[in-house]
């Protein structure tokens, strides 16, 4: 790697707590932060299928001001504002999210709605990032939240380490991103025990999303040695942890390893490393086509690696070696691993046919990560070429 420049940003995350029961760890964090009116955004499926949410509610005791467990996948903005209205009525001074990535993102947007009195979707317009077809971003400046967030994640997408949250504007439909340094949680609690109730397909596919963070960070035009050190270890933790979890879903050890791998995989966000087309196209497949977040990675990453092969040959060789198959094509290694986990590999398997390619490609050009792909995508036709490889 030649000379490069960059900025490492220390985020507003204060603590990461791991390996302890979520309810007890959360109660300690709430006490530390001095919160008195805690609003819990919880996974509805986790609430119905287990007593994990009840444990958290009991631990919060009189500090629990309200619970909301009706957040759909991809955080539709109407549903986010419904949750914000409930948090406002509860006079929340802390938002706790307990569940997957959509809940984490919803909690971030709820914070904006509370701070700025937003009750309608149009009220969010001045706050989301706008990206032109040339990839240039307009990031609004606004006052950060007063009621911050603590997160207990039960999937592996890693959004809890990101100061950006996304929600879906169902009128388009498309995802919109909201960014502010204070949108990261003040504290993150990693407890592998509640993740046993996460559906296997969701756990494994969100783990592939974390591997996607690693792969695109290593292949990034802005890769740096600091990030490389973290994400190379993350790949090893995630690959081994996902295999072991698939073999024995009740084993908490590999689940915690996967959580550590996810944490390490997000180093790129703090060290100025831009992701590429797998993330960029995936954002559109999720928001516009309703494809599950992790499944987006499963169906795009191998084809993006093939598209980028000549531009990232050395890095792809490194990835193949890290995944135990030195000398093989990285795209084949990743695709075979996805198959080993029993996850979909083709767009047709997740309900996206060729009739939607043009619209996906058009919207993808408005995602900034398309424009930081290591092999340039000159227009929608190049995105369609990737989609055709993944068809």
Q: Residue 1 pLDDT > 60, yes or no?
A: no
In the Cβ-directed half-sphere of 170, how many Cα atoms lie within 13 Å? Answer: 13
pLDDT at 340: 98
pLDDT at 15: 97
- Summarize pLDDT for 312-328 with one digit per residue, the tens: 999 999 999 999 999 99
Q: Residue 2 pLDDT > 70, yes or no?
A: no
* Residue 10 banded pLDDT, cuts 50, 70, 90: confident
* Residue 332 banded pLDDT, cuts 50, 70, 90: very high
Averaged pLDDT score across all residues of the chain = 96
For the chain, how far is it from start to end, CA to CA, in angstroms? 34
Residue 270's Cβ-count burial label (10 Å; 0-12, 13-18, 19+) is buried
3-state secondary structure 310-370: HHCHHHHHHHHHHCCCCCCCHHHHHHHHHHHCCCCCCHHHHCCCHHHHHHHHHHHCCCHHH
Contact present, 230 and 264 (Cβ < 8 Å): yes
Q: Residue 34 pLDDT > 60, yes or no?
A: yes
- Summarize pLDDT for 226-257 with one digit per residue, the tens: 999 999 999 999 999 999 999 999 999 999 99
pLDDT at 131: 86
Domains, the chain, in order of start with CATH, read 15-193 (3.40.50.1970), 199-390 (1.20.1090.10)
Nearest Cα residue to 95 out of 66, 125, 119: 66
pLDDT at 269: 80
Q: Residue 343 pLDDT > 90, yes or no?
A: yes
* Residue 270 banded pLDDT, cuts 50, 70, 90: confident
pLDDT at 3: 64
Mean pLDDT over 55-68 rounds to 98
Q: Residue 354 pLDDT > 70, yes or no?
A: yes
* Torsion of the alpha carbons at 179, 261, 271 and 74, rounded to the nearest 10: -20
* Cβ within 8 Å of residue 259, ≥6 positions away: 18, 153, 156, 190, 192, 195
- Summarize pLDDT for 124-146 with one digit per residue, the tens: 999 999 987 777 889 999 999 99
What's the order of all strands across the beta sheet hosting 15-18? 15-18, 187-190, 148-153, 94-99, 38-42, 64-68
CA pair distance 22, 355, nearest whole angstrom: 45
């Amino acid at each position: 790697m030649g000379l490069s420049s960059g900025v490492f940003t220390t985020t507003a995350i204060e603590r990461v707590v791991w390996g302890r029961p979520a309810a007890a760890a959360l109660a300690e964090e709430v006490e530390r932060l001095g919160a008195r009116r805690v609003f819990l955004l919880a996974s509805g499926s986790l609430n119905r299928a287990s007593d994990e949410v009840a444990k958290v509610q009991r631990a919060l005791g009189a500090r629990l001001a309200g619970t909301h467990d009706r957040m759909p996948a991809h955080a539709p903005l109407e549903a986010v504002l419904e949750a914000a209205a409930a948090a406002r009525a509860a006079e929340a001074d802390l938002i706790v999210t307990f569940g997957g990535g959509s809940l984490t993102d919803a909690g971030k947007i709820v914070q904006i709605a509370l701070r700025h009195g937003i009750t309608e979707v149009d009220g969010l317009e001045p706050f989301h990032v706008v990206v032109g077809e040339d990839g240039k971003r307009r990031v609004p400046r606004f006052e950060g939240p007063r009621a911050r967030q603590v997160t207990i994640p039960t999937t592996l997408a890693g959004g809890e380490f990101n100061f950006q949250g996304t929600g879906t504007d169902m009128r388009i439909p498309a995802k919109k991103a909201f960014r502010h340094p204070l949108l990261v949680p003040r504290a993150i609690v990693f407890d592998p025990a509640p993740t046993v109730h996460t559906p296997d397909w969701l756990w494994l596919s969100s783990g592939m999303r974390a591997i996607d963070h690693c792969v695109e960070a290593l292949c990034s035009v802005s890769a740096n040695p600091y990030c490389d050190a973290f994400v190379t270890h993350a790949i090893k933790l995630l690959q081994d942890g996902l295999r072991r979890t698939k073999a024995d879903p009740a084993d908490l050890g590999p689940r915690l390893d996967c959580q550590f791998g996810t944490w390490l995989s997000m180093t790129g966000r703090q060290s100025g490393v831009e992701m590429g087309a797998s993330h960029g196209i995936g954002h559109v497949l999720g928001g516009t086509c309703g494809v599950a977040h992790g499944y987006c990675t499963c169906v795009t990453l191998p084809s993006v690696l093939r598209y980028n092969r000549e531009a990232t040959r050395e890095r792809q060789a490194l990835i193949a070696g890290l995944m135990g198959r030195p000398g093989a094509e990285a795209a084949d290694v990743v695709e075979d691993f996805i198959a080993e986990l029993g996850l979909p590999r083709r767009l047709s398997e997740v309900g996206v046919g060729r009739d939607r390619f043009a619209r996906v490609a058009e919207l993808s050009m408005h995602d900034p990560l398309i424009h930081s792909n290591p092999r340039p995508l000159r227009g929608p036709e190049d995105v369609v070429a990737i989609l055709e490889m993944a068809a």
